[in-house]
Amino acid sequence: MQIVRAEEMYEWDRRAMDEYGREGYILMENAGRALAGRIREKFPKDEKFLVLIGGGNNGGDGYVIARILKDQGFDVTAVQVVPDEKIEGDALYHKNVYTKSGYDLAELTEQEWNRGTVVIDAMLGIGVKGPLRPPFDDLVRDVNLYGMHRVSIDIPSGLPADEGEEEFEAVKADTTFIVQAPKLSLFTEHTSGYYGEAEVVDIGLPPLSVTDPAREWRAEEDVKEGYPRLPASAHKGSRGKGLLIGGAQMMPGALVMAAKASIRSGAGLTTAATVPGNIPSAAGSLPEVMFMGTEEVDGVISGIDTDSLTGKDAVAAGIGMGRKEPGRAVMETLLKETKVPLLIDADGLYHLRFLLDVLKEREEVTVVTPHVKEMADLTGESTGEVKRNPFSISSKFARDYGVYVVLKGPHTIITAPDGRQIVESSGNEGLAKGGSGDVLTGILLTMLMQHEHPLEALANGCFLHGKSAELLTAGERTVYDLLPTDVVEGLSSVFRTYIKE
Ligand SMILES: NC(=O)C1=CN([C@@H]2O[C@H](COP(=O)(O)OP(=O)(O)OC[C@H]3O[C@@H](n4cnc5c(N)ncnc54)[C@H](O)[C@@H]3O)[C@@H](O)[C@H]2O)[C@@H](O)CC1
Ligand SMILES: Nc1ncnc2c1ncn2[C@@H]1O[C@H](COP(=O)(O)OP(=O)(O)O)[C@@H](O)[C@H]1O
Ligand SMILES: [K+]
């Protein structure tokens, strides 16, 4: 499913009319009918609906919804919140249909506020610009104040559709029925909460691709269909030989979790390279993994035998390796000498910020997997800026350095060097715990070895990781006690539920 900016949504609408000959008022009828259908399915017939209708096409959708719900016998009070002269075009057409149907408009009184149980917010859509002007400023506050269930149409009124906007006032919806395609603000941290429970409603626009480069929200079906299946003739070589590099004397756990995740997610053979002192205990807990000692200074990795890179299908480096000086040279060597996909995470990203010129020179596939703070440090932006602009900041970094970016969070945004983006939203707050990222690194290492397209591979890996958490917390675990090591074990149920044919 495409994720659109406001401009792209308008483009979609315009092309449906200009190229496909669909009349605007018919599109609006279809939109309102689809939206009313979802409202009808969600709420029992004894609810008392208050529909607030604004002056643009969002209000036009509101007129269609109010009429259809009334046609079907629902208790609906409709209020046009702007003067008559503001209603024009397709919205005016549908206002006329509404009134010719014998339905009237009400004044917004204290009584109406108190009588309603569900408010349908069709005041402002993706056309909102700048701070709210009267009467919308007061109305948005009132909607948030009264205790009705708040249903926003397309977008909570006042909320920006795109990323980047810092100051706004908006309806805090309980439910949002999004028209046709999710907008960027559904995925940015400071705006996503306003949507409440969000559902995309297909209003039947022709299937056009309006995002270029493509920007897509991953659905379970996409993963089920596209996941590379294992042939019966598989052997360990065909499943990939991966190398994980990380772990300092005081941080052996990260590497152990990543290595375990790598083999659990299906790697043929995983080798873990770490400081020699960590090997006896790590090897004891991971009999399937091969170990290799690195050079060491002050308890951290200070060098790696580049022969170990030969014969590998992918390499992941940086987890738990610490930030001490020697690590930088190790990362520089890896950037220069790794001829297969190289994934860099955690402390490896810390060192990378001093090696950006080397990164730029590198020609083979490179993946960086920062969380917001690491992305901020890599790009020199503040964490606030990264949170407000995750799509464009990821895209710029991916293009500037020719890398794949996995910007981790509740909605993980994966970007290819050409700017294509996939959002993977599986997972829950149970993953907000030290070590979750290490598990993800192990999974992604495996995915990179098994799929010819890194963007798809990375999206599949984020899905496995997030779904494991979801399945576990739907069963025995909760978001409080879930451990990263549980997420590794939970991969079995993800494969059984979603991947196995
Ligand atoms: N064919 C259809 O029926 C479709 C309907 N759509 C609906 O149309 C909406 C977009 O319609 P519009 O472009 O008319 O935009 P809006 O419905 O968001 O209304 C924009 C109007 O609101 C007013 N406004 C903007 N910012 C304001 C502010 N800060 N304070 C006060 N007033 C402000 C302006 O007068 C402007 O004309 C979508 O959100 C969706 O609901 C579209 O999604 C596309 C498809
Ligand atoms: N609230 C959340 N909802 C969904 N996923 C989350 C949430 N918090 C964290 N995650 C996921 O957990 C992982 C955490 O990675 P990271 O921040 O690197 O953790 P660590 O520092 O423990 O390695 C990422 O994959 C991220 O997408
Ligand atoms: K709205």
> What is the tens place of the pLDDT at every residue in 61-94?
999 999 999 999 999 999 999 999 999 999 999 9
Domain boundary, last residue among 210, 233, 264: 210
The H or E element that residue 451 is part of is none
For residue 428 and ligand 2, the question of a CB distance below 6 A is answered with yes
Residues 17 and 76 in one domain: yes
- Residue 2: the pLDDT is 97
Instruction: Report yes or no: 215 and 176 within 8 Å, Cβ to Cβ.
Output: no
Closest CA to 123 of 167, 169, 72: 169
pLDDT (tens digit per residue) in 400-444: 999 999 999 999 999 999 999 999 999 999 999 999 999 999 999
User: Which letter, b or e, does each residue of 436-449 get, where b requires 16 or more Cβ atoms within 10 Å of its Cβ?
Assistant: bbbbbbbbbbbbbb
Instruction: Report yes or no: 274 and 247 within 8 Å, Cβ to Cβ.
Output: yes
For residue 318 and ligand 2, the question of a CB distance below 6 A is answered with no
Cis geometry, peptide bond prior to residue 206 (ω within 30 degrees of 0) = no
pLDDT (tens digit per residue) in 121-157: 999 999 999 999 999 999 999 999 998 999 999 999 9
**What separation in Å is there between the alpha carbon of 138 and the centre of ligand 2?**
38
Domain membership flag for residue 437? yes
Range of the domain at 335: 220-499
Strands 269-274 and 241-245: parallel
Residues 11 and 80 in one domain: yes
Distance CA 391, CA 189 (A): 12
Has residue 197 got a pLDDT over 90? yes
Annotated binding-site residue? 21? no
| pLDDT band per the 50, 70, 90 thresholds, residue 238 | confident
Distance CA 7, CA 184 (A): 11
Distance CA 322, CA 300 (A): 7
Domain membership flag for residue 215? no
Residues 277 and 345 in one domain: yes
Residues 203 and 241 in one domain: no
CB count within 10 Å of CB 101 equals 12
Instruction: Report yes or no: 32 and 68 within 8 Å, Cβ to Cβ.
Output: yes
Domain membership flag for residue 121? yes
**What separation in Å is there between the alpha carbon of 455 and the centre of ligand 2?**
19
Coil, helix or strand at residue 38: helix
Has residue 111 got a pLDDT over 80? yes
- Residue 167: the pLDDT is 94
CB count within 10 Å of CB 308 equals 15
pLDDT (tens digit per residue) in 7-60: 999 999 999 999 999 999 999 999 999 999 999 999 999 999 999 999 999 999
Has residue 501 got a pLDDT over 80? no
In sequence order, the 6+-apart residues with CB closer than 8 A to the CB of 398 are 404, 405, 415, 416, 417, 419
CB count within 10 Å of CB 293 equals 15
Residues 455 and 426 in one domain: yes
Distance CA 450, CA 329 (A): 29
Domain boundary, last residue among 177, 210, 243: 210
Instruction: Report yes or no: 244 and 442 within 8 Å, Cβ to Cβ.
Output: yes
Annotated binding-site residue? 160? no
Instruction: Report yes or no: 349 and 327 within 8 Å, Cβ to Cβ.
Output: no
**What separation in Å is there between the alpha carbon of 241 and the centre of ligand 2?**
26
Domain membership flag for residue 480? yes
CATH code where residue 54 lies: 3.40.50.10260
303: which strand partners? 295
- Mean pLDDT calculated for residue range 337-358: 98
**What separation in Å is there between the alpha carbon of 155 and the centre of ligand 1?**
10
What's the Cα-to-Cα distance from 44 to each of 73, 117, 195, rounded to whole Å? 12, 11, 22
Distance CA 184, CA 161 (A): 6
| pLDDT band per the 50, 70, 90 thresholds, residue 234 | confident
**What separation in Å is there between the alpha carbon of 421 and the centre of ligand 3?**
27
Annotated binding-site residue? 154? yes
Residues 230 and 134 in one domain: no
For residue 95 and ligand 2, the question of a CB distance below 6 A is answered with no
In sequence order, the 6+-apart residues with CB closer than 8 A to the CB of 432 are none
Distance CA 269, CA 68 (A): 60
In testing the pocket of ligand 2, which one of 256, 408, 439 has its CB within 8 Å of the most ligand atoms?
A: 408
**What separation in Å is there between the alpha carbon of 119 and the centre of ligand 2?**
35
- Residue 230: the pLDDT is 83
Domain boundary, last residue among 161, 177, 210: 210
Number of structural domains the chain divides into:
2
For residue 140 and ligand 1, the question of a CB distance below 6 A is answered with no
Q: Which residue CA neighbors atom 1 of ligand 2 most closely?
A: 429
Domain membership flag for residue 423? yes
Domain membership flag for residue 1? no
- Residue 481: the pLDDT is 97
Residues 150 and 206 in one domain: yes
For residue 66 and ligand 2, the question of a CB distance below 6 A is answered with no
For residue 159 and ligand 1, the question of a CB distance below 6 A is answered with no
Residues 304 and 336 in one domain: yes
Residues 137 and 282 in one domain: no
For residue 9 and ligand 1, the question of a CB distance below 6 A is answered with yes
Helix 484-494 and helix 436-450, axial crossing angle in degrees, nearest 10: 40
Residues 203 and 239 in one domain: no
Residues 129 and 201 in one domain: yes
**What separation in Å is there between the alpha carbon of 82 and the centre of ligand 2?**
44
Residue 322 in tokens: 């610490």
For residue 408 and ligand 2, the question of a CB distance below 6 A is answered with yes
Closest CA to 302 of 278, 329, 342, 281: 329
CATH code where residue 403 lies: 3.40.1190.20
In testing the pocket of ligand 1, which one of 17, 128, 136 has its CB within 8 Å of the most ligand atoms?
A: 128
Annotated binding-site residue? 408? yes
For residue 440 and ligand 2, the question of a CB distance below 6 A is answered with yes
* Eight-state DSSP code of residue 230: P
Distance CA 458, CA 218 (A): 12
**C-beta pairs of 13-19 under 8 Å, 24+ apart in sequence:** 13/205, 15/206, 15/208, 15/210, 16/205, 16/206, 16/208
* Minimum-distance ligand 1 atom for the alpha carbon of 91: 14
**What separation in Å is there between the alpha carbon of 220 and the centre of ligand 3?**
28
- Mean pLDDT calculated for residue range 107-118: 95
Residue in the block written with tokens 């890896």:
334
Residues 196 and 224 in one domain: no
Instruction: Report yes or no: 187 and 160 within 8 Å, Cβ to Cβ.
Output: no
For residue 125 and ligand 1, the question of a CB distance below 6 A is answered with yes
